[in-house]
């Protein structure tokens, strides 16, 4: 009997939750622009504001500080570009940031420095403290971008400790929490984040909706002009159905957090099996998201692993899905000092509907592929 395919690429995008599907469906049957003052408009506004409250409860902070955007990329850009627009002329971004931060920083017009990480992918806070300790006032307010959890390795960063260092330098700390929200408890205020971003399709909402929350030390500057939407911070009629789905997903994600933590045991059991087959678990010495396993196997290129597993009915990815189609070493693993192993990385990520059996099947399929590779090498030797 042929087994059905399993999906273990939830860090790329996760299945829309039933609660979100229902919320989107309801919103699509209604008419009304949230900016209109008539009954239909007020109803649409009420749905949007209820969603804002639900998102605020998930990420921390008052609902009034939640700004909806088209997704995580726009939210990251809004935070970084706002910092530059308000005087930051030199940016510090960690070596493991998502491309939406790294690339936006490059084209921002500001100077860019890279915050290094150790072999487990954890930011070097001693470097950060030393660098901010000799900050040149001519460079304006320091801006530091440090993600909460890496999308490739799952490694969780010491954001709260970094915040103390940044605040002592009167800087702006931006936290990309896109992979963390919905998988671990996130409180932007407890973390000390001045801006913190999230994305709906990572936690069970539709694609095309996300946003950020900001603290009192951050000044957002509108980058899209033409209207007073989102309290004047982002012009453009809001994505009502997407926002409704995000609100429903946020409520479901809060209830799911305890179950999400339990998935670490399934991940770790699979990790032990692949390690016995010659794999190296990346970031194993650091705290990680419970759903994420990053491995590397000498001589087993990332793209070959992905294709082999796909043929076996197991869908995973090599690094960030945002770089799909590009056969090159992961910049995250390169920053961690993995050298040639960086081109052999594989990311396996579970989600809200992943089972223990899914992790077991992945391990079996990967071991079978690894053994076949070893066998072919012996034949050629």
User: What is the total residue count of the chain?
Assistant: 381
Contact call for residues 294 and 9 (beta carbons, < 8 A): no
Contact call for residues 245 and 23 (beta carbons, < 8 A): yes
Taking alpha carbons only, the member of 335, 278, 366, 339 closest to residue 152 is 335
Boundaries of every domain in the chain: 6-15+261-375, 18-251
Distance CA 8, CA 192 (A): 32
User: Class of the 6-15+261-375 domain?
Assistant: alpha beta
Lowest mean pLDDT among 231-245, 278-292, 340-354: 231-245
Reading the block at residue 32, the tokens are 């009304």
User: What pTM did the predictor assign?
Assistant: 0.95
Lowest mean pLDDT among 102-111, 228-237, 298-307, 358-367: 228-237
User: Average pLDDT, stretch 175-195?
Assistant: 98
**Is residue 353 pLDDT above 50, yes or no?**
yes
* Residues 6 or more apart in contact with residue 307 via CB below 8 angstroms: none
pLDDT for res 373? 77
3-state secondary structure of 76: helix
| Residue found by looking up tokens 């995000």 in the block | 246
Contact call for residues 314 and 8 (beta carbons, < 8 A): yes
DSSP E strands in 89-161: the ranges are 90-94, 111-115, 143-145
pLDDT for res 49? 96
Name the CATH topology of 18-251. Answer: 3.40.640
* Residues 6 or more apart in contact with residue 300 via CB below 8 angstroms: 344, 369, 370, 373
**Is residue 257 pLDDT above 80, yes or no?**
yes
Query: Which residue among 322, 327, 357, 374 is the active-site one?
Result: 322
Contact call for residues 281 and 293 (beta carbons, < 8 A): yes
Note if 294 is an active site residue: no
In tens, the pLDDT along 267-325 reads 999 999 999 999 999 999 999 999 999 999 999 999 999 999 999 999 999 865 555 45
pLDDT for res 325? 52
3-state secondary structure of 348: strand
């Amino acid at each position: 009997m042929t087994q059905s395919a399993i999906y273990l690429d939830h860090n790329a995008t996760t299945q829309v939750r039933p609660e979100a599907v229902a919320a989107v469906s309801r919103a699509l049957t209604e008419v009304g622009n949230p900016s209109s003052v008539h009954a239909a408009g007020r109803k649409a506004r009420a749905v949007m504001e209820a969603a804002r409250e639900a998102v605020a409860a998930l990420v921390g902070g008052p609902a009034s500080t939640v700004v909806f955007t088209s997704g995580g990329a726009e939210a990251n850009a809004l935070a970084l570009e706002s910092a530059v627009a308000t005087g930051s002329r030199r940016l510090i971004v960690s070596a493991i940031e998502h491309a939406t931060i790294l690339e936006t920083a490059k084209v921002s017009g500001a100077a860019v420095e890279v915050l290094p990480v150790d072999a487990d992918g954890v930011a070097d806070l001693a470097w950060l403290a030393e660098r901010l300790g000799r900050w040149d006032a001519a460079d304006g307010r320091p801006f530091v971008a440090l993600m909460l959890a890496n999308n490739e390795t799952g490694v969780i960063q010491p954001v709260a400790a970094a915040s103390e260092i940044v605040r002592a330098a009167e800087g702006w700390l931006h936290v990309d929490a896109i992979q963390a929200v919905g998988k671990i408890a996130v409180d932007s205020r407890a973390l000390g984040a001045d801006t913190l971003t999230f994305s709906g399709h990572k936690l069970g909402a539709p694609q095309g909706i996300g946003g950020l929350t900001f603290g009192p030390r951050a000044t957002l500057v509108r980058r899209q002009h033409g209207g007073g939407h989102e309290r004047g911070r982002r012009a453009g009629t809001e994505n009502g159905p997407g926002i409704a789905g995000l609100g429903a997903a946020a409520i479901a994600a809060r209830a799911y957090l305890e179950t999400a933590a339990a998935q670490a045991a399934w991940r770790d059991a699979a990790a032990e099996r692949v390690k016995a087959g010659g794999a190296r678990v990346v970031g194993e010495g650091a705290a990680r998201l419970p759903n994420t396993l990053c491995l590397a196997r000498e001589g087993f290129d990332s793209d070959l692993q992905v294709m082999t597993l796909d043929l076996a009915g197991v869908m995973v990815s090599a690094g960030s899905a945002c770089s799909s189609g590009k056969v090159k070493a992961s910049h995250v693993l390169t920053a961690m000092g993995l050298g040639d192993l960086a081109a052999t990385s594989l990311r396996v990520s579970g989600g809200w509907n992943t089972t223990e059996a899914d992790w077991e099947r992945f391990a079996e399929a990967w071991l079978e592929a690894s053994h076949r590779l070893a066998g072919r090498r012996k034949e050629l030797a």
